[in-house]
Structure 1
């Protein structure tokens, strides 16, 4: 058992932090409490972890590590408001903390739990109205079964943080173009279709692993996943736009090259360790489902590419497929846009222009909205 720090124990008692029989008296510092809280988190004992970590941040209110652990504990308990406050506190102490910034983004886009109000019993008139509403909705659902309903879209700005993506001759970075286009597209979508819910995999310049991007889309139960990218080639001449969907094998050598470049960031990510003999039932089931998602992704890619080619002054390079890691685990139709070549001097110049970006975002947003009217 660690030796009690008498001075800190007396301070804690004086401030009402602990009582004489408290189990926190053994701790010499917030670090000790953090280690204990981390251990409880790993064991899934979130209530106990929160209690320990709350004591830790009271003892050391400027300890960003403790606030981060507390944010994780609240997140696991689905206490999103408290989790958000904890991660924001981390960012106040350390604005460079990319994990907390990502968590703030994720939580901010989740619907926070509403304030609980007493439930009043329904009147006979209200019950009848609800029954009629259900009948209408059931009928509409039957009428719409031939189409794929798009109500929730996740926009994914490719690359970010230390992963700049492709870089043009003038220094324009792909990650910056992607993020700006996503923000513009989202704003236009909000104006064009107020019923469409739009989410992001990142809203600022930080790194997000490829696996986390589609995981985010799956968590949001998205109907469509769109990954924004800008193409590049060692040869400066290639130009134009193209749209990709996921497939086991690449549709061409060029498609394989693009997928290899976009997947290259995997080398910088930590490989997941899988225990020997472990069988992931959900993964096996997904192997049967993904063909349907990939086929739908192909239809979406064709519709969007056809729409874009009529709206933009870029060469139409068509629709292709390849094994993109960022798309393969999405449980919804997913596509990857390559919006011009940043390696081409003329197109790099275009991509740097605000007017062109607006036109590009407007075309993408219009294409997404048009999908709602199509039968996918």
Structure 2
């Protein structure tokens, strides 16, 4: 009886060891593929060199945006992803301007938040404007979605490129870019998009959106989409 129990425990430990080894290998391979993919994109980062990009973390100040069921604030998620995106763009050689650096909005003479965000893009001679937001509806809706101004063909192209990269890299959506009448889009003379990175109202997606690793992955997908868009214009 003692021998049987010992044999049983040895088998249990052996199975546990095998499962742990498989989990580690899968994790390492996943990280390797992620790094390999990043290197492939970074090799094409020359496309953003010299570009002036305004990254707009949506909301801020007294307007915190939507609130997830777990208490996650949209303005904080927007800022975190925007910072990662700004970092990638800067590493690629772009000049990047954030419409806000922290929880406060960078207000100018007009005192109008939306006006100042658009005015910043004009003032710095921006080539692209990318606004980061979280969507909110009900607990069932999920997935990232891009928006562009209906009168901007280049905005549509930029939205399609970013949407495709988010779909390919994160596999979190089958949505397609849509046109929308939004102040920060219709008042730009440059390609401008709103990136709704997911539904903060969805409990599962809320957990992802507050995860720093996922935030970085989302930012990188947006960055890869920007590179794809710029490369398509070099052809």
Shorter-chain TM-score range: 0.7 to 0.9
- Equivalent residues in 2 for 1:1-376, closer than 5 Å: 151-191=51-91, 193-194=92-93, 196-207=94-105, 208=107, 209-233=113-137, 235-247=138-150, 291=151, 294-375=152-233
How far apart, in 2, do the equivalents of 1:370 and 1:318 lie? 17
How far apart, in 2, do the equivalents of 1:359 and 1:313 lie? 11
Contact 2:143–2:173, Cα closer than 8 Å, also in 1: yes
> Per the alignment, do residues 185 and 176 of structure 1 end up closer, same or farther by CA in structure 2, a change over 3 Å counting?
same
**Corresponding residue for residue 38 of structure 1:** none
TM-score between both structures, scaled by the size of structure 2: 0.73
**What residue ranges of structure 1 are gaps of 5+ in the alignment?**
1-148, 248-290
**1:295 offset after TM fit, Å?**
1.7
**1:177 offset after TM fit, Å?**
0.5
Contact 2:146–2:163, Cα closer than 8 Å, also in 1: yes
> Per the alignment, do residues 199 and 344 of structure 1 end up closer, same or farther by CA in structure 2, a change over 3 Å counting?
same
Contact 1:236–1:343, Cα closer than 8 Å, also in 2: yes
**1:150 offset after TM fit, Å?**
7.2
Contact 1:166–1:174, Cα closer than 8 Å, also in 2: yes
How far apart, in 1, do the equivalents of 2:157 and 2:210 lie? 30
Contact 2:54–2:128, Cα closer than 8 Å, also in 1: yes
Contact 1:241–1:318, Cα closer than 8 Å, also in 2: no
How far apart, in 1, do the equivalents of 2:54 and 2:83 lie? 12
Runs of 4+ that moved beyond 4 A:
none
How far apart, in 2, do the equivalents of 1:333 and 1:365 lie? 15
How far apart, in 2, do the equivalents of 1:312 and 1:150 lie? 28
How far apart, in 2, do the equivalents of 1:357 and 1:330 lie? 27
**What residue ranges of structure 2 are gaps of 5+ in the alignment?**
1-48, 108-112
Post-superposition CA distance 1:141-179 (Å, at most 9, x none): xxxxxxxx9711100000001100010011100000011
How far apart, in 2, do the equivalents of 1:168 and 1:326 lie? 24
How far apart, in 2, do the equivalents of 1:172 and 1:225 lie? 25
> Per the alignment, do residues 150 and 301 of structure 1 end up closer, same or farther by CA in structure 2, a change over 3 Å counting?
farther
**Greater relative CO (CA pairs within 8 A, separation 6+):** 2
Post-superposition CA distance 1:212-243 (Å, at most 9, x none): 1111111111110000000000x210000110
How far apart, in 1, do the equivalents of 2:155 and 2:104 lie? 27
How far apart, in 2, do the equivalents of 1:345 and 1:370 lie? 31
Contact 1:154–1:224, Cα closer than 8 Å, also in 2: yes
How far apart, in 2, do the equivalents of 1:306 and 1:153 lie? 20
TM-score between both structures, scaled by the size of structure 1: 0.46
Contact 2:53–2:96, Cα closer than 8 Å, also in 1: yes
Higher Rg = 1
Contact 2:161–2:226, Cα closer than 8 Å, also in 1: no
How far apart, in 1, do the equivalents of 2:148 and 2:233 lie? 18
How far apart, in 2, do the equivalents of 1:167 and 1:316 lie? 24
